[in-house]
Structure 1
């Protein structure tokens, strides 16, 4: 992953280093949106809180996540899988800090209003306050992607996956960027990894089918 990111930064050149958009990706390329990364986890209710960053019990949280991922892999129905996936997303969204949760909620609202500059300002504070919070990096990666700053998005995706390798949103985001930039083989691997983690990802399954057909020379 790190090799891919650095190689991509070299390909994109100055566009990846700054806030400039990447070169034209072709006439069929549609503007990116949050939906390209699938739905973002819904924000937790905004509450007043302390400025101090409070740490949750990491062992208890890890144990609960392991249980949920095991249940997700063994879910008998799509409805059960969706419920478990939602529980995992809620755990990812809960930073353990009232301050960070409020910043994330406000960043989410800024994204909905397409105020990407404000969203980035808020998320910059989030990752400074709590660099161990994977969802902060993932949310910022999404905003960078929506601004077509794919180099910065990939850097934040890498950070997200370093903290939570099973983050299927980050894996899907990685695959989407790889596919948009023409790295179909890498995109296929990333989509498969995302689907392995969360078998209920219909968009990932469809992307895999499309990429495999393209590789075989079949029309999609």
Structure 2
């Protein structure tokens, strides 16, 4: 997958304009980025990065991912997905949390330049924080800067290969650039991680029909 990201880079430069997304694949929107709570404590101008116990967090995530993949009850799956996303948002740093909150506000205001400035600091302060890379990848995507988005998706998946948001983003970009076979594979991988992704299910059905020569 990561080799594909690199090999796609020369294509990106000549890929404009790109075709519009079909209705079965929804790109991110500002509404997807509600800011974090406003009552996060300030640290008096000092950068504070607190590391969580990686083994404990990994154990929690592994169990939640197992619940997400195996549960036959939609509400239970939704709870597991929400809990995973909550853990993903935990940076372990009040400073990074504040920056992420401000970036979310900037995205909602469609101030992508400010959002990128804030997220640039996030990934420098906490390079092991997958959600910082993922959110920056999404802002690059919203600006249609697919090359930079792919680079940040790669960093996200290097930290958390099960990040279904990053996998879905990769699949959407692959599809927009005409890499249908690769997009199909990536959508399937996202669906394996989170079977509740309706957009991925619809995209897979559409791509499989297209591969069989049937009308999409």
- 2:130 matches 1:138: no
Q: TM-score, normalised by structure 1?
A: 0.89
Q: Report the CA distance between 1:40 and its aligned residue.
A: 4.1
Q: TM-score, normalised by structure 2?
A: 0.91
Q: Report the CA distance between 1:23 and its aligned residue.
A: 1.1
Is 2:102–2:118's contact at 8 Å kept on the other side of the alignment? yes
- 2:32 matches 1:36: no
Q: Which secondary structure does the structure 2 equivalent of 1:36 belong to?
A: coil
Q: Report the CA distance between 1:25 and its aligned residue.
A: 1.5
Q: Which secondary structure does the structure 2 equivalent of 1:161 belong to?
A: helix
Q: Report the CA distance between 1:164 and its aligned residue.
A: 0.0
- 2:7 matches 1:7: yes
Q: 4+ runs of 1 displaced by more than 6 Å?
A: none
1:166 to 156, 162, 165: 162
Q: Report the CA distance between 1:86 and its aligned residue.
A: 0.5
- 2:17 matches 1:24: yes
Residue in structure 2 matched with residue 49 of structure 1 by the alignment: 42
Q: Distance in 1 between matches of 2:83 and 2:106?
A: 24
Q: Report the CA distance between 1:41 and its aligned residue.
A: 6.5
Q: Report the CA distance between 1:2 and its aligned residue.
A: 2.8
Q: Report the CA distance between 1:160 and its aligned residue.
A: 0.2
Aligned residue pairs, count: 208
Residue in structure 2 matched with residue 90 of structure 1 by the alignment: 86
Question: What do you get for the CA RMSD once the two structures are aligned?
Answer: 1.8
Q: Distance in 2 between matches of 1:30 and 1:68?
A: 32
Q: Report the CA distance between 1:5 and its aligned residue.
A: 2.0
Q: Distance in 2 between matches of 1:76 and 1:9?
A: 39
Structure 2 unmatched ranges of 5 or more? none
